[in-house]
Amino acid sequence: MKIALVGGTGNIGKGLAVRWASKHDVLIGSRLEEKAKTCVLEYSKHAGTTRLVGCSNESAVEQADVVVLCVPFEYVTTTIESVRHVIEGKCVISPVVPMRVSSNRAEYTPPEEGSAALLVRTILPESASLASAFHTVPAKGLVNPEGGYDVVVCGEEEAKKVAFELAIDANLRPFDGGPLENSPLVESLTPLLINLGIYNNLKNVSIKFLYDDIGR
């Protein structure tokens, strides 16, 4: 698959790029092409592969089959608007969490639509398929290929299928969280995990679900 990481020069972009670059062509997008190219040099050392390319956000989206929105919530609207003309018909994945973090507390701060993904749905063209995933994986933990975290995927069927496949290829365990309307439940787990890190002095707190198979 060709994967565009829009704003892939940041924390989650690096983590996802390193996990996917052995199996997929990963296009690191940026507002500044040179910045993306510099990041590719660094990421390639961690990934041990040359299947990474640095380019503008627009060029990354244009070439990709799937687009991952790796920008902070406050820039997601303007970022999508800047690539909207080339995103028609693509699968889009949002790991975006609307939240405020101070030194001693993280708080979920959803938009009036209810979640970042529900807001993104209103901005994307109808022809794009949207899934909400990867909110609870800590970017720094992704750089270590051993970290096998769980992820909950919500959204529309086509994009959800792609997000499942990409989660498995990143050594993560995906769970179906239902439709996009459930995305507030998943996004709001991230400030909880950050708070657990703050109050218990822990790093890279994530989730693993426990269940028994009886009745399956």
Ligand X SMILES: NC(=O)c1ccc[n+]([C@@H]2O[C@H](COP(=O)([O-])OP(=O)(O)OC[C@H]3O[C@@H](n4cnc5c(N)ncnc54)[C@H](OP(=O)(O)O)[C@@H]3O)[C@@H](O)[C@H]2O)c1
The residues that touch ligand X, with contacts defined as CB under 6 A, are 7, 9-13, 30-32, 35, 70-73, 75, 78-79, 95-97, 134-135, 137-139
CB within 8 Å of 200: residues ≥ 6 apart: none
Q: Give whichever of 24 and 135 is closer to ligand X, judged by the CB atom.
A: 135
Give least dist CB 76 to ligand X, A.
7
Chain-centre distance for alpha carbon 141: 14
Nearest CA to 167 among 71, 28, 23?
23
Q: Give whichever of 11 and 44 is closer to ligand X, judged by the CB atom.
A: 11
**How many alpha carbons fall within 13 Å on the CB side of residue 93?**
29
Give least dist CB 45 to ligand X, A.
18
DSSP 168-194: HHTT-EEEE--SGGGHHHHHTHHHHHH
Q: Which residue's Cβ lies closest to ligand X?
A: 10
Reading the block at residue 124, the tokens are 């994307």
Give least dist CB 215 to ligand X, A.
32
Reading the block at residue 71, the tokens are 């920008």
CA 87 – CA 173 distance, rounded (Å): 27
Give least dist CB 83 to ligand X, A.
11
Give least dist CB 105 to ligand X, A.
16
Q: Give whichever of 122 and 212 is closer to ligand X, judged by the CB atom.
A: 122
Q: Give whichever of 1 and 189 is closer to ligand X, judged by the CB atom.
A: 189
CB 54 within 8 A of CB 13: no
Q: Give whichever of 128 and 194 is closer to ligand X, judged by the CB atom.
A: 194
